[in-house]
Structure 1
Amino acid sequence: MNDEPTRIPELVRRAQFAAHEAEFAMSCKDRTGALLATLAASKPGGLLLELGTGTGVGTAWLLSGMTTDAHLITVEADPATAMLARGTLGADPRVSLVVADAESWLDTYTGPGVDLVFVDCRPDRFRRRADLLGHLNPGGLYIGDDLLPEPTWPDDHEPRVEKFLAEIIDEPNLVVTLMTWSSGLVVAART
């Protein structure tokens, strides 16, 4: 079985092109993206959250699976990268792009609980997890990627990943699956 996606949505292709042109090398992989689209489709009318927009590749995958009445909040710390994503994503009313550090956003967010969160920013996967999970509705999904070693990892990153993986398995109120697939994933559901 070949599990590489054969149908890449046009918006994903545009976001990938923007990433290539900007030499942004940290975009969501296609297999991860296809899984995101599937999981987004399981939350009709839901509120989704992405921490780490980048140029919008993961965002585009999420949007491709979302229903017309679902909404996505995506948070990007770098203003220049956020501007690239905004140019790619256009005026889709289902998405709100916030330019902020993920931790700052968590400090100020007082909105409703979320049904799916995709954590795609390196340091914030390891900090403030309790606060983030506090915003996740029962039955909500927590997804994180980039958990398999990459040549771009800083020297101190692998121990953080190992600590995170050991901790998330024991996280109360989560049913967790670790996947050595694509870039390395965690998919968890809040009970």
Structure 2
Amino acid sequence: MLNDEKITVPKFYTQINEASQQLKFNMPSDLKTGSLLRTLCASKPSGHFLDIGTGTGLSLAWMAEGANATSRMISIDINAEFQQVAVNTFAGDQRISIVCADGNEWLTFYDGEQFDLIFADAMPGKFEVLDQTLSLIKPGGYYLIDDLLPQPNWPEGHAPRVEKLVETLTRRTDFVQTTFNWSTGLMLFTKVAH
């Protein structure tokens, strides 16, 4: 019998979760989303991964556990207070660079290597500068977004933005996609190699 509720959490999950609660951070990554992230990162040995919306680092914990020793991860967020939890947690992990910056600006001006996976868990990279973000994905690389089903922390008027985003992404021909009516509502895209 399949049981998608039985999920082994990553090494730092409990520590980060407790710090998140102390800071009253109410936007943690869902366990199922995290488990999928870990699996996707494991599929790209020596991968280059981008986490948009560090928060306190829960999604980064999943990614770090799936990534192998020669992978590299960048995590960006504009909120230094929440992000400090991740900075402290992953201080010794040479694979990880944590950047405190405006996501839209960072994505607009980034000119480094493309990514094997981008997890867009914030407004930048999902609802803002979308085309620029998608251009940063390698052929065969993944783009994962979450929170597409109604969430208690959605701001007023957010539902039409989600509908428009889903419509926009569904029309793209440079990616193949799978929609998950599961977890918080996910869409997973793979960039087509031409």
TM-score when scaled to structure 1? Answer: 0.96
Distance 1:37 1:12 in 2: 13
Equivalent pairs, count: 191
How much has 1:124 moved relative to structure 2? 4.0
| CA 1:5–1:73: 2 relative to 1, 3 Å | farther
Matches within 5 A, 1:88-167: 88-122=89-123, 124-167=125-168
2:120 partner letter: V
Q: CA deviation at 1:11?
A: 1.3
Letter in structure 2 aligned against 1:57: L
Moved over 4 A (4+): none
Q: Structure 1: where are the runs of 5+ without partners? A: none
Q: Which residue of 1 aligns with 2:35?
A: 34
Equivalent pairs: percent with the same residue?
37
Shift of 1:127: 1.5
* CA shift for structure 1 position 172: 2.5
Q: Is the 8 A contact 1:144 1:185 kept in 2?
A: yes
Contact 1:59 1:74 in 2 (8 A): yes
CA contact (8 A) 1:11 1:89 kept: no
Which amino acid in the other structure matches residue 161 of structure 1? V
Instruction: State the 1:21 CA deviation.
Output: 1.6
Structure 2 Cα separation of the partners of residues 43 and 149 of structure 1: 31
* SS of structure 1 residue aligned to 2:98: strand
Asked whether the equivalents of residues 124 and 130 of structure 2 are also in contact (C-alpha less than 8 Å), the reply is no
1:124-178, Cα deviation, whole Å (9 max, x unpaired):
4112111011110000000001111012111111000000111111113110111
Return the TM-score normalized by structure 2. 0.95
Q: Which amino acid aligns with 2:180?
A: M
